[in-house]
Amino acid sequence: MVKRCSLVAFTLMALVSPALMAQTSVSAPAEDDKLAKDIYKLPVAINAVSRVCPWRSNAGQGYIRLIRTDALAGHHLYLQWIRRGIAGSPTQATSTVAVKELMSDYEVKFDMPQARLGQDACMLSAIGEDVTSERRYRFDFVLKGPGDYKLGVTHLLEGGL
């Protein structure tokens, strides 16, 4: 943590005052340079990522990650099942699914879904608002094994005055 902060402080100092950096003899160690290259930066279109529920199957176990992106016509949502590695193997995405209904049928902006762990599935719930008509919807997801989801949509009151 200290190394990361020192790299950030060093970078900010270089951006804010190049003359000040020329006067000081501070140089970032090789470890900080390697750390800067290893930091993963999300694309600009991704505006929220959340880890929600654990999952388990005969093939492995892991957790579910939600990825919300910005689009011209509202938000899009991707569901990703992450499998934990065993015996030294890396953690990896087993399945990534785009919620097609949010891409084609509903042009909405929505809060990140709230998760509830059920007996045999992960339940997600989110409230969304249409970007043009301000009509409100409730989206209820049921997530099971990797790649398996169902979406239920409830039409709520129309927006406007």
Tell me what the pLDDT averaged over the chain comes to.
76
Number of domains within the chain: 2
Closest Cα partner for 76 from 102, 50, 110? 102
- Is the model's pLDDT at 58 over the cut of 90? no
Q: Is 69 helix (H, G, I), strand (E, B) or coil?
A: strand
* Cα separation, 43 vs 15, whole angstroms: 22
Domain extent at residue 34: 2-38
Query: Are residues 33 and 50 part of one domain?
Result: no
Does residue 27 sit in the same domain as residue 106?
Answer: no
Which residues face 61 on adjacent strands? 56
For the stretch 17-53, pLDDT in tens is 333 334 434 444 566 666 555 555 566 788 888 999 9
Tell whether 68 and 7 lie within a shared domain. no
**Res 72: pLDDT:** 77
What's the pLDDT tens digit per position in 130-151? 888 888 999 999 998 888 899 9
